[in-house]
Amino acid sequence: MNTHTIILFYKYTNIAEPEKLSTWNKKIGAELGLTGRVIVAQEGINATLEGTNENIAKYIEELRKIEGFADVQIKDSVGTGNAFPRLRVRVRPEIVSLHLGEDDLDPNEITGVHLKPEELKEWYKKNEDFVVVDMRNDYEFAVGRFKNSINPDLENFRDLPKQLDKLSNIKNKKILTVCTGGVRCEKASGYLKKKGFENVYQLDGGMHKYMEKFPGEDFLGTLYTFDNRVVMDFGGDKNGKREVIGRCQNCNDACETFSHCGRNSCHKHLVVCRDCLEKHGRIFCTAKCKVKYFIDRIRGKKSVAVKIEN
Ligand SMILES: [Zn+2]
Ligand SMILES: [Zn+2]
């Protein structure tokens, strides 16, 4: 039945030779026929991989043999066999782009307190006074999120420094940062602490781990993934009990399908329903983009078609 597994993991640890770890991943990835994305930097590794159940198990076994990786926390979910087109392994300056510049930090030195999924469950049960700050991109937030969470309006994760003012009113509150698998929160929670937020927690293992433990609870909608599944259901599909919270940019109907702004040079990720895209050919993020698109057309600039992502 379930022949494939998708794993998600990251680790902030000092990697003296990122090239070496990158080559190791390329080699073992090819041997085991894995697909997905691996980013290696001096500060650590961030990866999403798919393979057969057996080969993913072999990869994990070998990974844990590498010094510093014995305790790496791995999130897994059922694969599709075609979640990724190929394997891409890259060496980059950071494992997630936060562009903190001078404020860049090492999560091994400063980061929010790790809160286990079970502890968050308790917080919800006891009705604790806390605020969930969602550190994902706005289009991810649009289709799924924790109950009562705040979206700092991140068009992109690296907008966080610019959006910090929006969080100033919760500076003295108990804050829990959340993201898909936890990697973004390691730095984002550290960054908030650095900026004077005192009571900062981060969800250990991210939404993914929470939903593995408590499927369909405390989370509305669905979880956006960065692979061909696009969104991932936990505890009931959208035809069942689960609520669909995404809304089409154009008609406002409930939907969980994604496309991009019809102006190719903008390309902003949008929640758009199939009907609207079929009917109009392209949907725009703003009226401004729509006007610019038509001006471009008058000037003879060619545009490529936009598609639904899932
Ligand atoms: Zn629509
Ligand atoms: Zn646009």
Sorted by sequence, the CB contacts under 8 Å of residue 277 that are 6+ apart come out as 259, 283, 306, 307, 308
Spatial CA neighbour of 161 closest among 106, 226, 108, 105: 105
- Is-catalytic flag, 285? no
| Ion ligand 1, residue ranges at CB < 5 A | 248, 250-251, 273, 276
Please give the Cα distance from 188 to 57 (Å, whole number): 31
Q: Which ligand is nearest to the CA of 265?
A: 2
Structural domains in the chain plus CATH codes:
4-91 (3.30.70.100), 107-232 (3.40.250.10), 247-310 (no CATH)
Task: Report the C-alpha gap between 250 and 272 in whole angstroms.
Answer: 7
The DSSP result for the chain, as a single string, is ---EEEEEEEEE---S-HHHHHHHHHHHHHHHT-EEEEEEETTEEEEEEEEEHHHHHHHHHHHTTSTT-TT--EEEEE--S-SSSSEEEEE-S-SS----GGG---TTTS-PEEE-HHHHHHHHHHT---EEEE-S-HHHHHHEEETTEE----SSGGGHHHHGGGGGGGTTS-EEEE-SSSHHHHHHHHHHHHTT--SEEEETTHHHHHHHHSTTSSEEE-EE-SSTT-EE--SS-TTTTPPP--B-TTT--B---EEE-SSTTT--EEE--HHHHHHHS---SSHHHHHHHHHHHHTT----------
What local confidence, expressed as pLDDT, does residue 90 receive? 97
Q: How far is the CA of 247 from the centre of ligand 1 (A)?
A: 8
Q: What is the pLDDT of residues 278-292, one digit of tens each?
A: 999 999 999 999 999
CA of 262 to the centre of ligand 1 (A): 14
For residue range 180-224, list pLDDT tens digits in order: 999 999 999 999 999 999 999 999 999 999 988 988 889 988 898
The rounded Å distance from CA 244 to ligand 1 centre is: 14
Q: What is the pLDDT of residue 242?
A: 75
Closest ligand to C-alpha of residue 252 is: 1
Q: What is the pLDDT of residue 175?
A: 96
What CA–CA distance (Å, rounded) separates 207 from 181?
A: 6
Going from the Cα of 199 to the center of ligand 2, the distance in angstroms, rounded, reads 37
pLDDT at position 32 = 98
**How far is ligand 2, taken at its centre, from the CA of residue 283, in Å?**
9
pTM above 0.75, yes or no: yes
d(CA 209, CA 113): 16
CA of 25 to the centre of ligand 2 (A): 37
Of the listed ligands, the closest to the CA of 271 is: 1
Closest CA to 134 of 189, 96, 97: 189
**Ligand 2 centroid, distance to 219 Cα (angstroms):** 29
Catalytic residue among 179, 255, 273, 285: 179
- Amino acid 102: pLDDT: 83
Q: Which ligand is nearest to the CA of 273?
A: 1
pLDDT (0 to 100) of residue 45: 97
Q: Which residue numbers in the chain have pLDDT < 70?
A: 157, 234-241, 310
Q: Using only C-alpha atoms, what is the Rg of the chain?
A: 20
Closest of 205, 96, 211, 202 to residue 144, by C-alpha = 211
For ligand 1, the distance from its centroid to the CA atom of residue 38, given in whole angstroms, is 35
Ligand (nearest to CA of 285): 2
**Which pLDDT value is given to residue 238?**
54
Query: Could you tell me which of 245, 225, 209, 103 has the C-alpha nearest to residue 162?
Result: 103
